[in-house]
Each structure stands twice: as C-alpha cells, then as structure tokens.
Amino acid sequence: MIAAPNLETQRLILRGWREDDFEPFAAMMAEPAVARFLTADQRPADRAASWRAMAVFAGHWALLGCGMFVVEEKASRAFVGRVGPWRPEGWPGFEIGWGLHPQFWGKGYATEAARAAGDWAFAHLPELTEVISLIHVDNRASQRVAEKLGETPGERTLHAGMPHVIWRISRARWAALKTNRPS
C-alpha cells in the first residue's frame, strides 16, 4: 500500500489514516457546524456513514498515492481533522481541502496544515499545475483560509445541490507565496 508520509509543521503533525482515528473522526462528522458544509445532506453523519467517509479517505491514498492527511495537534496529540489532496472521480480539479473539529477552529490550524499539504502535493506531483478548493458560498471561515493560502475565487458551481465557488491557485503563485511565508 502507498503509505502517507508524516509531515510536521510548527504546531501540527500530518499523517496517514489508522483504524483508531474512527472515534474522533465520527465525533467531528457528528458536529452540526462541520456537517453543515461537509456532508452531502448538510446533516450530522451517523457512525456508518462516517466509517465509509473515513474508508474513502484511506482508500484515496491506496488507489491514487495521495489524499487527505489526518491532522494531529503536536502538543496534545489530539485528532484535529483532515486536510489535504482530494481528487475523486468526477471532481472539478485537484483539491486541497480541509475540515477540522470546531474545537480547533480560529487558531490558524487549517491554513498551517493546508500549506504543508499543498507544499507536499506540488513537490510530489510534477504534473500538478494548480490546486483548487471547493467552498460553499456561505462558508466564510473556509473562504478566509483560501484567501490566506493565496487562492482566488473563480467560477460558481453547483456541488451536492449547493452553490459553491471554485477557488484556485497556480503552482507558480503557490511557490512565490511560499518563499515569502513567515517562518
């Protein structure tokens, strides 16, 4: 199997999926504030649906050699959420996506993890010319993350029956912003 690498940022660890990620992942997907923008019906996911969602994340790595990382907080080793590449069949582009437990919102963790995941994706996938982020029009918090990553809003699209905007950033712009990042 193609194992996810471990990535380290200042405050976070990004790593592959394990069976014991299920409880905190299911707890996250049962949060109404998370489900509002991350489940197909906008309702909290039950345990069976969360297991399948987690299996798809692990299977994305196994099939495609890239995928969402589990994000852990270094200090506490707590499960923070999942961030990283997402490119299932029929997706409008190569996405860098993020979804964190509300307990960890407002700390800059999504941006910190998405930067590491994007750096990894551009370094390991030479054919990648840009990444996108598919964001619900009402999801202000995620739009802020996209702005901090240097993504710009593009076309509107209907996704899971809901209005989304495709945010984009080119490889060149990502690289330019990376060199100017505060360390």
Partner 1 sequence: MSFGPTLETSRLILRPPIQDDFAAFAAFGADEEVTRHLGGAASPHASWRAMATVAGSWALMGFGMFSVIEKASGDWIGRLGPWFPGGPEGGWPGTEVGWGLVRAAQGKGYAVEGARAAIDWAFDHLGWSEVIHCIAKANTPSIAVARRLGSYVMHEDVMLPAPIGVAIDVYGQARDDWRARVSSPAP
Which residues lie near partner 1 (CB under 8 A)? 1-2, 17-19, 22, 46-49, 51-52, 54-64, 88-91
Contact 174, 118 (CB under 8 A): yes
Order of strands, sheet of 12-15, starting from the edge strand that comes earlier in the sequence: 7-8, 12-15, 69-73, 79-86, 95-100, 130-136, 162-170, 152-159
HSE toward the beta carbon, residue 32, CA cutoff 13 A? 0
Instruction: Quote the distance between the C-alpha of residue 64 and its chain's center.
Output: 16
To the nearest whole angstrom, how small is the minimum distance from the Cβ of residue 101 to partner 1?
20
Minimum CB–partner distance for residue 90 and partner 1 (Å)? 4
The DSSP line for 18-31 is -GGGHHHHHHHHT-
Q: Which is nearer to partner 1, 30 or 49 (CB)?
A: 49
Nearer to partner 1, 90 or 126 (CB): 90
Residue with Cβ nearer partner 1 (55 or 172): 55
Taking the complex as a whole, how short is the minimal distance between the CB of residue 43 and partner 1, in angstroms? 11
CB of 50 to partner 1, least distance (A): 8
Q: Which residues contact 142 (CB under 8 A, 6 or more apart)?
A: 37, 98, 110, 133, 135, 136
Nearer to partner 1, 60 or 101 (CB): 60
Q: How far is the CB of 16 from partner 1 (least distance, A)?
A: 8
SS3 80: strand
Of 48 and 75, CB closest to partner 1: 48
Least Å from the CB of residue 10 to partner 1: 29
Return the closest-CA partner of residue 26 out of 38, 14, 44.
44
Q: What six digits make up the tokens of 152?
A: 């710009």
